């Protein structure tokens, strides 16, 4: 049979799912042909901060493997769109050798978003330093019921939208105000505010660990944190984290 009449090899659903676990997302396509499918490769950014060196590396990868563009995600991340399937292995190798890291994907703590409260004139806390510290401490938490998003804001203007994150932190004169169970998406939910703020960073880290542990134990598979709180009740959640604190 002439080569042109042979069916084109396709990208299988299993391959697409495995790529998604590595923060590589299939783009919309007319079919699953390996020659035609394009992917978006997401890069980790914590607290919205990128060094000039990382930006140069991302630009090089976008030029070499994508179509020379980079997209900024709504959660302060970078992604390289329109990467052909055949170029993915080379891009992944190049990414490993670069100062960049792949974004987090799946049922885990995702990249942490922060406003520039560190130097914004309204900022009451070091938002970017805190985002970095939180990611270092909790960024490896996996096997949660669903994704877990954290945002840090330096003051009550809440530019980083902590109330629509699974865990939101807002700096205030009282300390670190915390909201839980927020989300955007198809069924948006405003986070519930904890009655008492964390007085200092040590207390904040301790509380966040308790909160994530609670979700890991009580959340059902594929249930967002806010939905778990609604099912079990916010007073009960508060009771539970106070009981173990």
| 139, 145, 154, 168: residue in contact with ligand SF4 (rule CB under 6 A) | 154
One residue of 158, 210, 232, 241 binding ligand SF4 per CB under 6 A: 158
**Site membership for ligand SF4, residue 155 (CB under 6 A):** yes
Instruction: Give the contacts of 238 (CB within 8 A, at least 6 positions apart).
Output: 194, 195
Site string for ligand SF4, 112-141 (x = CB under 6 A): ---xxx--x-xx------------------
Q: Which two tokens stand for residue 116?
A: 């520039």
| 153 touching ligand SF4, by CB under 6 A | yes
Residue 159 near ligand SF4 by CB under 6 A: yes
- For ligand SF4 (CB under 6 A), the number of binding residues is 12
Q: Cα(207)–Cα(211) distance, rounded to whole angstroms?
A: 6
**Least distance in angstroms from the C-beta of 120 to ligand SF4:** 3
Task: Determine the Cα–Cα distance for residues 104 and 119; give it in Å rounded to an integer.
Answer: 27
**Torsion, CA 203, CA 205, CA 210, CA 216, rounded to 10:** 170
Rounded least distance, CB 78 to ligand SF4, Å: 20
78-84/38-43 β-pairing: antiparallel
Alpha-carbon gap, residue 71 to 39, rounded angstroms = 13
Return residues touching ligand SF4 (CB under 6 A). 115-117, 120, 122-123, 153-155, 157-159
């Amino acid at each position: 049979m002439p080569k042109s009449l042979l069916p084109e090899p396709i990208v299988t659903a299993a391959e697409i799912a495995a790529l998604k676990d590595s923060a590589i997302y299939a783009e919309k396509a007319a079919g699953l042909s390996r020659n035609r499918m394009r992917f978006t490769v997401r890069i980790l950014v914590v607290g919205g901060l990128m060094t000039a060196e990382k930006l140069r590396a991302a630009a090089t990868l976008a030029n070499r493997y994508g179509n020379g563009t980079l997209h900024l995600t709504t959660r302060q991340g970078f992604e390289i769109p329109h990467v052909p399937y055949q170029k993915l292995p080379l891009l992944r190798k190049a990414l490993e050798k670069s100062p960049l890291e792949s974004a987090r994907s799946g049922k885990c703590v995702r990249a942490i978003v922060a406003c520039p409260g560190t130097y914004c004139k309204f900022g009451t806390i070091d938002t970017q330093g805190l985002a970095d510290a939180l990611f270092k401490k909790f960024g490896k938490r996996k096997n949660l019921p669903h994704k877990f998003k954290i945002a840090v804001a330096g003051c009550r203007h809440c530019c980083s939208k902590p109330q629509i994150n699974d865990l939101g932190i807002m700096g205030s004169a009282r300390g670190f105000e915390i909201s839980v169970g927020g989300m955007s998406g198809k069924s948006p939910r405003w986070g519930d505010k904890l009655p008492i703020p964390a007085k200092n960073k040590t207390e904040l880290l301790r509380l966040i660990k308790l909160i994530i542990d609670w979700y890991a134990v009580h959340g059902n598979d594929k249930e967002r944190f806010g939905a778990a709180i609604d099912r079990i009740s916010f007073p009960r959640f508060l009771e539970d984290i106070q009981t173990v604190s």
